[in-house]
Chains A and B, each alone.
Chain A
Amino acid sequence: DPKIIQKPKYLVAVTGSEKILICEQYLGHNAMYWYRQSAKKPLEFMFSYSYQKLMDNQTASSRFQPQSSKKNHLDLQITALKPDDSATYFCASSHTGGEGTEVFFGKGTRLTVV
């Protein structure tokens, strides 16, 4: 059973629209993240949350807004979608405390903006 659930698996959106990518984890982790992977760029860190608080934001655009309604949820709202936003978005989680804690990845949401 997948322990990090991402929905939807595939998503096609029109340029200029808004979408929300859903992520829930059942690993008991306190830290959650979003990463992006596209043909042009390697796995790219976007955000990290710890105990539902934003810890790090490496996304230049404010069009990307994470939302944490519960400790084990971290959704990603993307507004004014552009074709360049087309990528696979991975939600991930880990225990907090640093020292090289393993980061687990969900199966991803493949977003295509047309």
Chain B
Amino acid sequence: QQQVRQSPQSLTVWEGETAILNCSYEDSTFDYFPWYWQFPRESPALLIAIRPVSNKKEDGRFTIFFNKREKKLSLHITDSQPGDSATYFCAANDSGYNKLTFGKGTVLLVSP
């Protein structure tokens, strides 16, 4: 049973557009949701994270929108740049454990 689901599997946007990556989860005990990005042949790196006390977290062009009732969140990337092309992983964590459960990822391609 997959605890964290991501959609779409892949996404292509034009430079300057807004990319929207979706994530949903099953376990109500999850209380920390980081997004990681991974470039080819690199390790995952933390991009931005949110906790359920907030329904929005913004960091520059990257914004997480969180809906606790529906157990859904989304990552919005505004003014997408070719350098944003990467695989984006939504993850979830049960407080106190730091055992991250990852989704399968969304491969984003930003075309110039």
Contact = CB atoms under 8 A, between A and B. Distances in A.
Given A102-B46, A102-B49, A104-B46, 6 more contacts: A31-B98, A43-B44, A45-B99, A45-B100, A58-B99, A100-B31
Given A58-B99, A100-B49, A100-B93, A106 B43 contact: yes
A106 B49 CA distance: 19
A44 B99 CA distance: 10
B13 to A, nearest CB: 22
**Best-buried of B43, B97, B100 by chain A (most CB within 10 Å):** B43
A44 B34 contact: no
Contacts of B89: 42-43
Interface of B: 31-32, 34, 42-46, 49, 51, 89, 91, 93, 95-105
A62 B5 CA distance: 28
B65 to A, nearest CB: 18
B43 A107 contact: yes
A90 B43 contact: yes
Interface residues of A, number: 26
B97 A48 contact: yes
A103 B102 contact: no
B98 A48 contact: yes
B102 A43 contact: yes
A108 interface: yes
B98 A103 contact: yes
A61 interface: no
A94 B32 CA distance: 14
A96 B42 CA distance: 25
Given A42-B104, A100-B32, A105 B45 contact: yes
Nearest first, the 10 A-B pairs at minimum CB distance are: A98-B96, A100-B32, A43-B102, A105-B43, A42-B104, A98-B95, A42-B102, A107-B43, A105-B44, A45-B99
Contact of A100 (B34, B101, B104): B34
Contact of A99 (B32, B101, B103): B32
